[in-house]
Amino acid sequence: MEQEKIIQAGKIATQVKEYAKSFIKKDMLLLEIAKKIESKIEKLGGKSAFPTNLSINEIAAHYTPTFDDETKAHGLLKIDLGVHIDGWVADTAFSVDLENSEKNKKLIYAAEAALKNAIDLIQKEKTTLGEIGKTIQETIEAEGFSPILNLSGHSMEQYDLHAGITIPNINTQNQTELTDGLYAIEPFSTTGSGKVQDGRPSGIYQIIDDKNTRSPIAREILSYITEEHGSLPFCERWLIKKFGTKAKIALHQLESQGILHQYPQLIEISKEKVAQAENTILITKDKKIVTSE
Ligand code: MN
Ligand code: MN
């Protein structure tokens, strides 16, 4: 049953998050962190719903290590991980301070407090998307920081990470009521002006138009992606592990043919630090369960 799969994915995500908190240290390779997280997900019986995002400082989201990445963990690191069971996703994130900075710790606290207040509001009463955004914005601003206005939470469906409903991180005055469904709530706090812009290509891709391609390598790799990830995001690193560096050529071909979309890294426009907290909540007519904590 789908509800059991949603709960199970959440349980695995919770365990992996605790595991990640226990081993992440300054100067560890991001590549090693991602591999440990992703293999733990499999060991616990889940699958990665998307490549582990390990975004440092002003990179708000969409940094996943390349296959030969030499970046070491430092600064304010955001760990955003996803687990799925048959396409039912738990999406969760936390941030760590790796430079003993009071400011980082306060920024992280602001994102976590905003997440908690948003979830408390959802659990307490019927609420609107605008009210959730207002709570997030007020909590972060009360700590002296800004929410990121163009990043938001989202509804999820089977094999669909961003299923159409947006949960704002600011007061948009949106009167739409939050109804039954599966949602990720994800406040971002920053010492900057509170907006992200596109950065360099991330190596994170998703199928957007599953049409024919003439190139034999591209065809082979596309059929593997369809089988293995469906419409969920995946990364170059995973494909290089499976196919070697010819995967790079195939990805390039598939992207230029409009079959794949490659996500850009998302960078805070004033190049200031960003913290994130995220949990997944399941709302049914008789209960509201945070699946990932
Ligand atoms: Mn996430
Ligand atoms: Mn999310």
In the annotation, is 186 catalytic? Answer: yes
pLDDT of residue 270: 98
| Three-point CA angle 122, 135, 158, nearest 5° | 45
Ligand 2 center from residue 25 Cα (angstroms): 24
Single out the catalytic residue among 38, 80, 236, 268.
80
Residue 180 falls in the annotated catalytic set: no
Distance 245 CA to ligand 2 centre (A): 29
Look at residue 1 in the predicted model and tell me its pLDDT. 64
Q: Is 61 helix (H, G, I), strand (E, B) or coil?
A: strand
Q: Which ligand is nearest to the CA of 183?
A: 2
- Is 154 a known active-site residue? yes
Ligand 1 center–CA 242 separation, angstroms: 25
Contacts (Cβ under 8 Å, ≥6 apart) of 6: 85, 88, 90, 182, 282, 291
CA of 44 to the centre of ligand 1 (A): 19
Known catalytic residue at 68: no
Question: 216 CA distance to ligand 2 centroid (A)?
Answer: 34
Confidence at residue 29, expressed as pLDDT on a 0 to 100 scale: 98
Q: Any residues with CB less than 8 A from the CB of 193 and at least 6 apart, and which? A: 146, 268, 269, 270, 272
Q: Cα(72)–Cα(30) distance, rounded to whole angstroms? A: 6
Q: Is 91 a catalytic residue?
A: yes
Handedness of CA 227, 64, 181, 45 (dihedral sign): positive
**Please, which residues bridge with residue 50 across strands?**
82
Ligand 2: centre distance to CA 156 (Å): 9
The answer to whether the beta carbons of residues 168 and 250 sit under 8 Å apart is no
Task: Check the CA dihedral 71-73-77-83 and report its sign.
Answer: positive
Half-sphere exposure of 2 (CA within 13 A, CB side): 12
Q: Which two tokens stand for residue 47?
A: 């699958």
Give pLDDT, residue 60. 98
What is the C-alpha R_g of the chain?
18
**What are 236's two structure tokens?**
């170059």
Q: Which position among 97, 131, 186, 236 bears the catalytic label?
A: 186
Residue 153 alpha carbon to ligand 1 centre in Å: 9
Q: What is the pLDDT of residues 157-175, one digit of tens each?
A: 999 999 999 999 999 999 9
Choose, from 154, 229, 236, 268, the residue flagged as catalytic.
Answer: 154
**Which residue spans within the chain are E strands per DSSP?**
47-56, 59-61, 76-85, 88-97, 146-147, 153-156, 166-167, 181-185, 188-190, 196-207, 234-235, 260-268, 274-276, 279-283, 288-290
| Catalytic residue of the set 162, 220, 255, 272 | 162
Q: Give the 3-state secondary structure of residue 141.
A: helix
* Residue for token pair 């195939």: 250
Ligand (nearest to CA of 277)? 1
Q: Which of 38, 58, 91, 268 is catalytic?
A: 91
Give pLDDT, residue 110: 98
Q: Please, what are the domains in the chain?
A: 3-198+266-290 (3.90.230.10), 202-265 (1.10.10.10)
Residues whose CB is under 5 A from ligand 1 (ion)?
A: 80, 91, 93, 278
Is 141 one of the annotated active-site residues of the chain? no
Residue 162, Cβ density class (10 Å: 0-12 exposed, 13-18 middle, ≥19 buried): middle
Q: How far is the CA of 50 from the centre of ligand 1 (A)?
A: 9
Regions of the chain where pLDDT drops below 70: 1
DSSP letter for 105, please. Answer: H
